[in-house]
C-alpha cells in the first residue's frame, strides 16, 4: 500500500479485519508489518494508545474505539455483547498472568502439627506457639494488637506467674522494633539470634527440632 494511513485509520482497519480486541503494541506491529503506517518515533505503541484514547475522550459515544482493558481496544460497532465478551476475556487473561507472576515463598519443609513449612514471619510463630504453649507450660490469657502481643502465665515452682509475651520471627527483631525491655517478660521467636538478650527467650525452632528428634528415636 503506497498511501499510509493515520494511526487511528490503521487501527480501525486492523480491528475490523481481525474482529478481536488488540493491544496498542499488537496494532502497531500489524500496521508496520502490513506497511499501513510510517513512523519515525521510538515509541509508536504509546502514540497508538494516545490517539485511540483521545478519540474516545473527544467523541464519547460516537467514538469508533472502545477500551476493554488497560491497553486493549475493540470497535464500538461490534455491539455490546461482543464487547462484553472481549472485556471478560481480557480480565481472565490478566488474572492468569498475575497468578503466574505471583510465586509464594515458604520456609523449610516442617510438616509439624498442621504447619507444612517452617515460619517465615511473626504470624507463623504465633500459629506454632498455639500448638506448643501447653508443652511450654504457658497459659495464654489475652492476645492483643498493642505491645506486648500477649499476656499469660508461666508455670513456676510456686504456681503460675503472670508474664507479658512478645512474638517475633527473630529475637533480634525486638531491638529493631524498639520495644521497651521492662514491659516484656518473654520473647517467643522462631530463631534466637540476639545473644545478649536480657529477656528470657523461647526459640520454637529448637523446641520443634528436639520434639521431632525424640519422635524419630
Q: Read out DSSP for 128-170? A: HHHHHTTTTTEEEEEE-SSSSSEEEEEEETTEEEEEEEEEEEE
How much is the pLDDT for 39? 85
- Residue 103 above 90 pLDDT? no
How much is the pLDDT for 105? 82
Report the 10 Å Cβ neighbour count for 215: 8
Regarding whether 203 and 114 lie in a shared domain, the answer is: yes
Q: Find the domain containing 128 and state its range.
A: 109-216
User: What pTM did the predictor assign?
Assistant: 0.55
Regarding whether 174 and 150 lie in a shared domain, the answer is: yes
- Residue 3 above 80 pLDDT? no
* Structural domain includes residue 26: yes
| pLDDT tier at 102, thresholds 50, 70, 90 | low
Regarding whether 65 and 162 lie in a shared domain, the answer is: no
How much is the pLDDT for 93? 85
Regarding whether 208 and 114 lie in a shared domain, the answer is: yes
* Structural domain includes residue 11: yes
CA distance 69 to 90: 6
* Structural domain includes residue 2: no
Regarding whether 69 and 157 lie in a shared domain, the answer is: no
Cell digits of residue 56: 474516545
How much is the pLDDT for 2? 62
Regarding whether 165 and 116 lie in a shared domain, the answer is: yes
Regarding whether 139 and 89 lie in a shared domain, the answer is: no
* Structural domain includes residue 170: yes
Task: Round to the nearest angstrom and report the end-to-end CA distance of the chain.
Answer: 81
| Domain end point (choices 83, 101, 119) | 101
Regarding whether 87 and 22 lie in a shared domain, the answer is: yes
How much is the pLDDT for 1? 46
Regarding whether 84 and 148 lie in a shared domain, the answer is: no
| pLDDT tier at 183, thresholds 50, 70, 90 | very high
| pLDDT tier at 111, thresholds 50, 70, 90 | confident
How many structural domains is the chain composed of? 2
User: How does DSSP assign 36-65, residue by residue?
Assistant: ------S-HHHHHHHHHHHHHHHHGGG-SE
Regarding whether 160 and 197 lie in a shared domain, the answer is: yes
- Residue 150 above 60 pLDDT? yes
Regarding whether 113 and 97 lie in a shared domain, the answer is: no
Amino acid at each position: 500500500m503506497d498511501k499510509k494511513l493515520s494511526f487511528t485509520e490503521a487501527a480501525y482497519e486492523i480491528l475490523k479485519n481481525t474482529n478481536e480486541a488488540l493491544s496498542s503494541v499488537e496494532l502497531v506491529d500489524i500496521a508496520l508489518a502490513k506497511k499501513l503506517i510510517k513512523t519515525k518515533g521510538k515509541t509508536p505503541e504509546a502514540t497508538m494508545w494516545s490517539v485511540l484514547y483521545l478519540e474516545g475522550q473527544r467523541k464519547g459515544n460516537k467514538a469508533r474505539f472502545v477500551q476493554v482493558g488497560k491497553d486493549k481496544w475493540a470497535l464500538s460497532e461490534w455491539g455490546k455483547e461482543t464487547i462484553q465478551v472481549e472485556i471478560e476475556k481480557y480480565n481472565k487473561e490478566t488474572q492468569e498472568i498475575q497468578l503466574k507472576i505471583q510465586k509464594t515463598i515458604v520456609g523449610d519443609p516442617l510438616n509439624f502439627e498442621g504447619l507444612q513449612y517452617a515460619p517465615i514471619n511473626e504470624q507463623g510463630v504465633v500459629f506454632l506457639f498455639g500448638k506448643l504453649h501447653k508443652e511450654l507450660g504457658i497459659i495464654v490469657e489475652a492476645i492483643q494488637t498493642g505491645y506486648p502481643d500477649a499476656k499469660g502465665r508461666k508455670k513456676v515452682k510456686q504456681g503460675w506467674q503472670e508474664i507479658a509475651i512478645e512474638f517475633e520471627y527473630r529475637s533480634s527483631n525486638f531491638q529493631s522494633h524498639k520495644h521497651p525491655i521492662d514491659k516484656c517478660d518473654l520473647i517467643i521467636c522462631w530463631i534466637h539470634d540476639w545473644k545478649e538478650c536480657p529477656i528470657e527467650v523461647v526459640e520454637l525452632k529448637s523446641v520443634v527440632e528436639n520434639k521431632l528428634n525424640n519422635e524419630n528415636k
